[in-house]
Amino acid sequence: MAPHNRSCLYKVFVPSYTSRVLVEVLRCRGVEGCPLWLRVRAKAPPLHNSTALDCREHAPCQLALDLPFWQHWYYVLVEKHPGVPGTVSFQVTVQLTDCSRPSLARPPFLPSSASMNMPHSFGSVGGLALGDSPPPASPNGTKHPVPISIASPAGERCWPVRPTLRNELDTFSVHFYIFFGPNVSVPPDRPAVFVINLLPVLDSGGVLNLELRLNVSSLCGENVTVFGCLNHEVPLTSSDNTSVTCETESLAGFLLSVNATASLSRLRIPYPQTGSWYLSLRSLCATEHGFEPCTNVTAEVYLRAYLSPCINDCGIYGQCKLLRTNNYLYAACECKAGWNGWGCTDNAEAFSYGFQLLSTLLLCLSNVMFVPPVAIAVRSHYLLEAAVYIFTMFFSTFYHACDQPGIVVFCIMEYDVLQFCDFLGSLMSVWVTVIAMARLQPVVKQVLYLLGAMLLSMALQMDRHGLWNLLGPSLFALGIMAIAWTARTIRRRHCYPPTWKRWAFYLCPGALIAAAAVLLYAFVETEENYFYIHSIWHLLIAGSVGFLLPPRAKPSRRLGPLPRRKGCGYQLCVNEQEELGLVDPAVASINSICTS
């Protein structure tokens, strides 16, 4: 290492079936012994808190990593101590132990120290043995050694990994089938290892589910416990049969166990890491001294592995939804009625049954307030307006009965239909009431009613929860009413409506009640206070309609056609020439008598 260099970075690829990685610094010579730090890290260059070794204090200077991640790059950083002058020469060896052939170790690499300023790569992504393609000889002509025979402990022995078949059903809905399964035989002398491959992006947004069910009849009366250990990137099979924690110093997995007493075990992992997940099953017998290997007992286990969008479809207190953040698609539960958790199973803050029943009754029965406006409209001969109020009362009642988050739910139609009809009825009630207050000609009023129904339906289809869906039609109808009232005031040269009682006892109270309802709906209503604030909204809107609906129109004072007189057998008729305007009406006489 040249004086101007502080460190050298190498990387080595660790293929499958590698049980141990040994990194060693050899032939280290410097001014002050071996003033180097040796750091190793998987998947990324080492940091200050990575596994490190001071070569000054340890001889030989070597780091051993048991159970490394398979199919990943390991980075080796050799760093010089601060303030060390001169050149430091060394060699680095990386030795991989193949657990499928525990008697052989893959040959170490001795990288040249002549060019240490760039990262070096050793190994191959394809997982070939390092001895299959020897690296070039070092500049000093040293030969690389051939495979070395090593006495490997039993814990470094690995077993064949059985693959799984992938069957995609829907988004985040994948089943993993085992060849010659789903019943798995776990022999007493070795573990059964399976691999589950999760694809990037497609599988990371769901829930990985694993289920083990023990066939008790296969135990032959023995006290057998089957342990399952699920690990990411590398299978964990410890040589210590009493170790059932499914973790080591550098690895931690998920532990499952089944026996004759508890024959079913489930594991759920939300948003799992993509890549290879390894499941190791082993059977142990319980004794006075702990767990020991069983003899002549092959346990049979039913194994099921699958991906699902949500846990148990979020239960009855939640709804599973597909969400997107930037380009990342994932599924999540939207919990209701105070329930929380991954699958809406945490009832620490859940609403009680009585509270759910009370909220449902308040939201439904508050619509009875529309009965007085319906009676007033029928009495004043506003039959079309009364039909709209009845429509609103009916669908608002059953929509809120279906919209409840808990178990107090009653739906007579699909939820989307009830919601659309409830929102449309509420907006149409406001629309027809304000248009009726304008006292327009019947033809104009009917055209505005029909036009409002079509436009409001379109607006609700675009955005049902927008505030302007309520304010827009209301302000437009108020503008029409203001123009009509202003025209009447100018034509009559008197304020319209003409009586102060109408203003004092009907219009002003109704306007104040409607304004209070709009303010509550827009600024006060939240998810926490929805059930009683929205009930007050029902009461206020229905009450304002009863005050604002105009009285019945008085009959016109114009003379209509004369009633036909019957009795003497004759009928008095108007002179045809007078009707056509051919004679002067002032001097015209009734000279035409028509027989009946």
> DSSP characters for 505-552?
IIIHHHHHHHHHHHHIIIII--SSSHHHHHHHHHHHHHHHHHHHSPPP
In Å, what is the CA distance from 227 to each residue of 86, 109, 276, 553?
56, 39, 20, 85
The residues with which 97 forms a beta bridge, in sequence order, are 20, 105
Q: Which residues lie below 8 Å from residue 151, measured CB to CB, with a gap of 6+?
A: none
Q: Are 309 and 331 in contact (CB under 8 A)?
A: yes
Under the phi-then-psi rule, with left for phi > 0, alpha for psi from -120 to 50, and beta for the rest, what region is 233?
Answer: left
Give rounded-to-5 percent helix, strand, coil for the chain: 30, 30, 40
Cα(571)–Cα(70) distance, integer angstroms: 113
Residues in the chain: 596
Half-sphere exposure of 24 (CA within 13 A, CB side): 12
65: helix, coil or strand?
strand
What is the CA 9 to chain-centroid distance, rounded? 42
List the pLDDT tens digit at each of the 596 positions of the chain. 787 788 889 999 998 888 888 999 888 887 677 888 899 988 889 887 777 888 888 888 888 888 888 888 999 998 888 877 778 888 899 998 887 665 555 555 544 443 333 344 443 333 333 333 333 333 333 333 333 333 344 444 567 888 899 999 888 889 999 887 788 888 888 888 899 999 988 888 999 999 999 988 888 778 888 889 998 888 876 554 445 778 777 778 899 999 888 989 999 999 999 988 999 898 888 887 778 888 888 889 999 999 999 998 888 888 899 988 888 889 999 898 888 998 898 988 888 888 889 999 999 999 999 999 999 999 999 999 999 999 999 999 999 999 887 778 889 999 999 999 999 999 999 999 999 999 999 999 999 999 999 999 998 888 887 777 777 888 888 899 999 999 989 998 888 888 888 889 999 999 999 999 989 988 898 888 888 999 999 999 999 998 999 988 766 555 455 555 555 554 555 444 444 444 444 444 444 444 43
Q: Which of 262, 188, 198 is nearest to 230 (CA)?
A: 198
Global pTM reads 0.62
SS3 for 373-436 is: HHHHHHHCCCHHHHHHHHHHHHHHHHHHHHCCCCCCCCCCCCHHHHHHHHHHHHHHHHHHHHHH
Closest alpha carbon to 309 in 164, 169, 405: 169
What type of residue is 82?
Answer: P
Which of 75, 66, 74, 70 is closest to 17 using CA atoms?
70
Of 261, 195, 265, 189, give the one whose Cα is nearest residue 227.
265
b/e sequence 490-507, b meaning 16+ C-beta within 10 Å = eeeeeebbeeeeeeeebe
Is the Cβ–Cβ distance between 524 and 533 less than 8 Å?
Answer: yes
- Which residues, including other chains, have CB under 8 Å from residue 254's CB and lie 6 or more apart? 210, 229, 230, 231, 246, 267, 269
Helix (H) or strand (E) holding 171: none
> What pLDDT does 420 receive?
94
Q: Could you report how far apart the first and last alpha carbons of the chain are, in Å?
A: 132
CA distances for 555 relative to 480, 482, 549, 551, 560, angstroms: 24, 24, 18, 12, 11
Q: What pLDDT sits at residue 562?
A: 52
pLDDT at site 563: 55
The Cα 162–Cα 33 span in angstroms is: 50
- Indicate the burial class of 239 (C-beta count within 10 angstroms; 0-12, 13-18, 19 or more): exposed
Please calculate the CA angle 341-346-348 and round it to the nearest 5 degrees: 130
User: Which residue in this structure is represented by tokens 């030795």?
Assistant: 95
Q: State the sign of the Cα–Cα–Cα–Cα dihedral 303, 309, 313, 317.
A: positive
CB 267 within 8 A of CB 256: yes
Count how many Cα atoms sit within 13 Å of the Cα of residue 512 in the half-sphere of its side chain: 7
The pLDDT assigned to 564 comes to 56
Tell me the β-bridge partners of 270.
207
For residue 270, count other CB atoms closer than 10 A to its CB.
16
Largest CA distance in the chain: 146
Q: What contacts 157, CB < 8 A, 6 or more positions away?
A: 19, 99, 102
Return the closest-CA partner of residue 136 out of 166, 154, 111.
Answer: 111
- The pair phi, psi for residue 298, each rounded to 5°, is -105, 110
H or E segment at 278? Answer: strand 275-287
Helix (H) or strand (E) holding 81: none
In whole angstroms, what is the distance from residue 418 CA to residue 398 CA? 7
Q: Concatenate the DSSP letters of all residues of 433-482 into one string.
A: HHHHHHT--HHHHHHHHHHHHHHHHHHHHH-SS-THHHHHHHHHHHHHHH
